[in-house]
Amino acid sequence: QQQVKQSPQSLIVQKGGISIINCAYENTAFDYFPWYQQFPGKGPALLIAIRPDVSEKKEGRFTISFNKSAKQFSLHIMDSQPGDSATYFCAASIGETSGSRLTFGEGTQLTVNP
């Protein structure tokens, strides 16, 4: 599987602050970039996703920024809340030709302090 590198490994943010998690990929054939949120004891839940034909997608407090030339994408959580404390995974897939198999980043453990 092609690599997706994620940073930082852990992140501590104060309530109301902005959380930023970055990912970089190698395979330019990737055409779908989702972010998943995972709470302890739960399966990953789809948070937001982007395709490479747009540079930014916003859903509520969550924004994905995508830089195709740099092969990087990032998740921004505005006005971070203690309830956002979870592990976040970026991922990438190629789509139909590869059967939509996801390659995941290493994960970022986010802690939002009250």
Partner 1 sequence: SAVISQKPSRDICQRGTSLTIQCQVDSQVTMMFWYRQQPGQSLTLIATANQGSEATYESGFVIDKFPISRPNLTFSTLTVSNMSPEDSSIYLCSVRNSGAGNTIYFGEGSWLTVV
Residues of this chain that interact with partner 1 (CB under 8 A) are 1, 31-32, 34, 36, 41-46, 49, 89, 93, 95, 99-107
CB of 43 to partner 1, least distance (A): 4
User: 93: Cβ–Cβ under 8 A, 6 or more apart, which residues?
Assistant: 30, 31, 32, 100, 101, 102, 103
**Pair type for strands 56-59 and 62-67:** antiparallel
Name which of 5 and 15 has its Cβ closer to partner 1.
5
CB of 57 to partner 1, least distance (A): 13
Name which of 17 and 32 has its Cβ closer to partner 1.
32
Closest alpha carbon to 76 in 87, 88, 61, 66? 61
CB of 40 to partner 1, least distance (A): 11
